[in-house]
Structure 1
Amino acid sequence: MVAWRVFHDRFPTADALARRNIPVATQVCSICETNIESIDHLFTGCPKFMDVWQLVFSWCRVPSFFAFHARDLLSYHLTAKNGARVRKAFYAVVLTTFWSIWRARNNHVFNHKQVWVRKIMEEIKVMSYLWITNRSRMADMSWDSWVDLMQLKWDSLGFLYFGRMYSDTLSQLLDLC
């Protein structure tokens, strides 16, 4: 559902609501307060959420790149040449990132919650692990295997090492969320 919404520009962002003649107080992004809130701005142009993507790329040891459109991020996993398992795992992380960014945006807009990049990143790690182990053939994967899959498999592709962000256990990460 997340991928479909991204691909078809079906997230109810401020500009999308205005296009549908639904009154909105302002079309300006409530996170950065500098640009119109569109799907492309929210997922690829908002500085706060760009920081989230940088942490995701760093954690997965994939080269960061500048995406002009949210759709560009949907196909980025296809560049991995290390097998379907790694591609699927990274795709799950990408989808989780979209979901977590949208959730953080909604918490900010509707509940007036502060957006914390590190907290979003922790949620991405935990939720992508839970989604992978509960909705795929990787159900037997341990937390340590998940961390290894996301950090070691990409090395053989010759990608740069950006450093391991966290070495926490799953229970410690769940305490943060």
Structure 2
Amino acid sequence: MNRGVILENLNQECPWCGMEIEDAFHLFADCNFIKKFWDLFSGWWNSRICSISTIEDLFGLCFPISFSGNGKMAWGIAVAAALWSIWTARNDRVFRGGSMNQKDILLHTKMHALIWIKNGNSNLQLCEDVWWEDPSSAIIPAKGNEEFEWLPPEEGSVKFNVDGAFNSKKAGCGGVLRSSKGDISAIFSGPVDCISPEFAELMAIKLALDLFIQTDWVGKVKLIVESDSQKVLNWISNPNGRPWKWWSYFNEIDNGARKSGSVNFVFVPRARNGLADHLAKAGVNRENLFIAWW
């Protein structure tokens, strides 16, 4: 009541399967929506999950899996992230009328698990480019191959990794803003109208600048924008080579760079741009642009 929730008016049925809340809690996975999600989750890990019929089965997922060491630790964190993502999606639907499908919940799970692993397990290193499709193969030793590791900026700087994705029918873009400590402060992922890989990359850079100037960091830190498209970065640094058909977008990027203060545009190999790459690929199939910052 103190938080503005009128308990008497709440629908006492599960928002996905229509079961009574008490029954849905004890037979959580009987909801077809949740079953389909766990099929996606097990497919992501390339692992066959045992039958789930009760809430106890869900919380017991850590035990029947054959992973060991860091692999089992990553699996356990991913399961926790999945449960958290389902719970927050359920609350968003009940209290705010939101809507999220299984694939979106899996994307949130992947991002949450990656963030939790990086922030809380210094000895568990991941190849971000592999994590999104095959997490069990993404684990590398703490002193593993550095060419796959995202490199944090120096203190007093933040880094916005961006990328564009393209196929014959659709295009998308994505980006992630991180501090010198590796903490994620903002992400975006969404579709791009013009079907062109260069334009998708260009829009990713524009959106990164638009998002950055809304943060409290403007004028306080240096911004590094990393992209794996040398061609687009050359256009930004050399106005004489810019395509005329996109001139208005270049002007917006120039304006955004001036408002952002100190900005450096830097090329990065795709292997070190894994999170932005996945957000861009996910954006291809999104209907709307997803933006979040904190």
Mark yes or no: TM-score above 0.5. Answer: yes
Return 5+ residue gaps in structure 1 as ranges.
Answer: 1-21, 154-167
Q: Which of the residues 85, 89, 92 maps onto 1:100? A: 85
1:145 Cα deviation after fit:
5.2
> Partner of 1:18 in structure 2?
none
> Partner of 2:74 in structure 1?
89
- Give the secondary structure class of the aligned counterpart of 1:51: helix
The structure, 1 or 2, with the larger RCO (C-alpha pairs under 8 Å, 6+ apart) is 1
> Partner of 2:34 in structure 1?
49
Identity, in percent, stands at 21
> Partner of 2:118 in structure 1?
133
1:148 Cα deviation after fit:
7.3
Q: Which of the residues 164, 168, 171 maps onto 2:276? A: 171
- Give the secondary structure class of the aligned counterpart of 1:133: helix
C-alpha distance in structure 1 between counterparts of 2:56 and 2:49, whole Å: 15
> Partner of 1:64 in structure 2?
49
Larger Rg computed on CA atoms: 2
1:75 Cα deviation after fit:
2.3
- C-alpha offsets along residues 111-143 of structure 1, whole Å, 9 cap, x if unaligned? 111121111111111111111111113454231
C-alpha contact (below 8 Å) 1:132/1:138 kept by paired residues? no
1:174 Cα deviation after fit:
4.1
Matches within 5 A, 1:151-166: 151-152=136-137
1:91 Cα deviation after fit:
0.8
* Farther-moved stretch of structure 1 (90-99 vs 137-146): 137-146
C-alpha distance in structure 2 between counterparts of 1:172 and 1:66, whole Å: 33
C-alpha distance in structure 2 between counterparts of 1:139 and 1:48, whole Å: 32
C-alpha distance in structure 1 between counterparts of 2:108 and 2:16, whole Å: 18
Higher strand share: 2
Give the TM-score of the pair, scaled to structure 2: 0.42
Higher helix share: 1
1:39 aligns with 2:25: yes
- C-alpha offsets along residues 23-42 of structure 1, whole Å, 9 cap, x if unaligned? 45332112222x1123234x
C-alpha contact (below 8 Å) 1:122/1:173 kept by paired residues? no
C-alpha contact (below 8 Å) 1:143/1:170 kept by paired residues? yes
1:121 aligns with 2:106: yes
Return 5+ residue gaps in structure 2 as ranges.
Answer: 1-6, 139-272, 284-289
